[in-house]
Structure 1
Amino acid sequence: MNVDGVFPSAFDQIDRQSKDICSAHIFTWKDNNEEEKRSDIRYQISEEMGAIKAAVGDTVLTFLWISCASTLGLATSFIANAVGIQDLPWPPLFITTALVFVLVFVFTFLGDALGGASFNPTGTASFYAAGLGADTLLSMALRFPAQALGAVGGVLAINEVMPQQYKHMLGGPSLKVDVHTGAIAEGVLTFIISFLVLVIILKGPRSPVLKMLLLSVVTVTLVVSGSVYTGPSMNPANL
């Protein structure tokens, strides 16, 4: 038996098999690496598209919110006059609370329909800071200007369509004290409403209707409390 002829051929076969295995591993690693790169690119594109969609939704929702919220005082006055309770101190507050509840209910539905759109930069920042939602720094950087743009559009639109005799009844925040006092009041009230909103949503009742009612009561209470200072705003989009 030719030993010299057997062992070299066996070694050659093992060497070829080893090379084939190494080549297969290299190609597999390259394929996996390319697939990971493609996945990263797809994720980045998806993230950017999601941020753009969120910004567009915020623009539309803020436009509608400012247009409607500006007429709360006017609507309250109309209803109070129609019922004959305009001279009483407390009933108009209940009317305003009911109107805010309706607005919150409607805009919650609209926000969900628009993919989680928001009309309040304060709320967006609060939920982001709390680690809630799918916002990123990119989406936040796009949503804030979008909400401001929607707010400006809403103000211009409501001023354009409102009859002249009712324009003085359009509500909005205004500085009624010195700048420092107004800034402190806005900071305190914004902190309180942000905290209470998070508590109501995260720890409040399970019923969405009760949550909206509590949000309406909190909003009206803080608006009345801050009315002697700045209005108040508690929402940069309202400014």
Structure 2
Amino acid sequence: MAGIVQLLISDIIMSFMWVWSSVIIKLFVHEVLGFSHHGFPAEVFRSSLSILNMFFFAYLAKLTNGGAYNPLTVMSSAISGNFATFLFTIGSRIPVQVLGSITGVRLILAAFPKIGRGPRLTVSLYEGALTEGLLTFTIVLISHGLSSKIPGSFFRKTWISSVSKLALHILGSDLTGGCMNPASVMGWAYARGDHITKEHLLVYWIAPVQATLLAAWTFRYLVRPSKQDKDKKTN
């Protein structure tokens, strides 16, 4: 029971910190360093700090024994677990991650009212859903590969994961925001008052969740244990 409570506390704190981290990076690059929003130096600094930020959160996840800030991350793991784990993820972990994100965004807007209003859809509804779905499908496949098949240290795997997430984010940033994180988007959408719209639910929740399920099943189908591995397990 203590482990479950600790995990939920880790989720809500990390979700809160995640929405703040992106804002702090932007403020540091544009307000403190004084770079323009669309210049090449600003892109380099933002990208470098984003990768460092993802390393930091990967370390926090390791330190907290599985704490997470993204519903898709815990859902991807829950699919491979038992039914009780799946129910715990859907009924407890994802809601507290959403709560942490909403709380974080509300405090951000209270402290920095002119910071912006988060990611927005700039294409049609179905193009946006397809974009978020494809981005999510790709990163979930990569995550499964890193966790189960690719050998290497924590640093190497985190580097591959971070660079992949950054590249996918950049690809989708002008279309949907390239979020791949329903809880974080929910925080901003709740602040705008459009968290229950068809656009938000379809693009930032339904499409990524379906893509996560599809990626997990695809990986399980493509990377089946060999006959020798099965024989070893039975012996």
Look up the match of 1:144. 94
Indicate which of 99, 119, 140 corresponds to 2:49: 99
Look up the match of 2:115. 167
- Summarize the alignment of residues 8-157 of structure 1 with structure 2, pairs less than 5 Å apart: 46=1, 49-78=2-31, 81=34, 88-89=39-40, 91-131=41-81, 135-157=85-107
Equivalent pair of 1:223/1:232 in contact (CA under 8 Å): yes
Equivalent pair of 2:15/2:68 in contact (CA under 8 Å): yes
How many residue pairs are counted as aligned between the two chains?
Answer: 184
- Supply the distance in 2 between the matched residues of 1:98 and 1:125 (Cα, whole angstroms): 28
Q: Which amino acid in 1 is paired with 2:138?
A: I
Q: Which amino acid in 2 is paired with 1:62?
A: S
Pick closer, same or farther for the CA change 1:87–1:111 going to 2, 3 Å.
closer
Equivalent pair of 1:185/1:226 in contact (CA under 8 Å): yes
- Supply the distance in 1 between the matched residues of 2:39 and 2:151 (Cα, whole angstroms): 32
Indicate which of 164, 168, 193 corresponds to 2:139: 193
- Supply the distance in 1 between the matched residues of 2:46 and 2:168 (Cα, whole angstroms): 13
CA drift of 1:95 comes to 2.2
In terms of Rg, which structure is larger? 1
- Supply the distance in 2 between the matched residues of 1:183 and 1:156 (Cα, whole angstroms): 26
Secondary structure at the aligned position of 2:115 is classed as helix
Look up the match of 1:214. 160
Equivalent pair of 1:62/1:118 in contact (CA under 8 Å): yes
Could you state the TM-score of these two structures normalised by the residue count of structure 2? 0.67
Pick closer, same or farther for the CA change 1:174–1:140 going to 2, 3 Å.
same
Equivalent pair of 1:121/1:147 in contact (CA under 8 Å): yes
Secondary structure at the aligned position of 1:167 is classed as coil
Structure 2, unmatched stretches of 5+, are 186-235
Pick closer, same or farther for the CA change 1:219–1:143 going to 2, 3 Å.
same
RMSD of equivalent CA atoms: 2.7
Equivalent pair of 1:174/1:232 in contact (CA under 8 Å): no
Pick closer, same or farther for the CA change 1:173–1:204 going to 2, 3 Å.
farther
Moved more, 201-210 or 52-61: 201-210
How many percent of aligned residue pairs carry the same amino acid?
28
Pick closer, same or farther for the CA change 1:124–1:101 going to 2, 3 Å.
same
Look up the match of 1:204. 150
CA drift of 1:79 comes to 7.1
Pick closer, same or farther for the CA change 1:200–1:74 going to 2, 3 Å.
farther
CA drift of 1:117 comes to 0.9
Equivalent pair of 1:177/1:230 in contact (CA under 8 Å): yes
Structure 1, unmatched stretches of 5+, are 1-45
Equivalent pair of 1:54/1:117 in contact (CA under 8 Å): yes
- Supply the distance in 2 between the matched residues of 1:223 and 1:127 (Cα, whole angstroms): 22
Could you state the TM-score of these two structures normalised by the residue count of structure 1? 0.66
Secondary structure at the aligned position of 2:123 is classed as coil
